[in-house]
């Protein structure tokens, strides 16, 4: 049985890959996926409803990428 994914999920995954490529990271990580989800209006709304601070998450992910995954290293 073949599985299909929604266009929205496909777009989020593509955004995660694009972000990793832009940062010259070798691998796409869960952090890239979360970063991409923060850019998706529906996902961001769900995260907010669950109590997430979108701006804080974005800032912390930027810090993680800079400190733990410098450009071209991962």
Please give the chain's pLDDT, 74 residues, in tens. 777 888 989 999 999 999 999 999 999 999 999 999 999 999 999 999 999 999 999 999 999 999 988 776 54
pTM, full prediction: 0.84
Residue 72 is predicted with a pLDDT of 64
Angle at Cα 21 formed by Cα 59 and Cα 19, nearest 5°?
Answer: 30
Residues in the chain: 74
Residue 28 CB-half CA count within 13 A: 16
């Amino acid at each position: 049985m073949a599985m299909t994914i929604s266009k929205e999920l496909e777009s989020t995954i593509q955004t995660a890959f694009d972000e990793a490529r832009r940062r010259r990271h070798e691998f796409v990580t869960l952090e890239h996926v979360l970063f991409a989800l923060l850019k998706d209006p529906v996902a961001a709304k769900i995260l907010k409803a669950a109590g997430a601070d979108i701006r804080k998450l974005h800032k912390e992910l930027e810090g993680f990428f800079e400190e733990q995954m410098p450009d071209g290293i991962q």
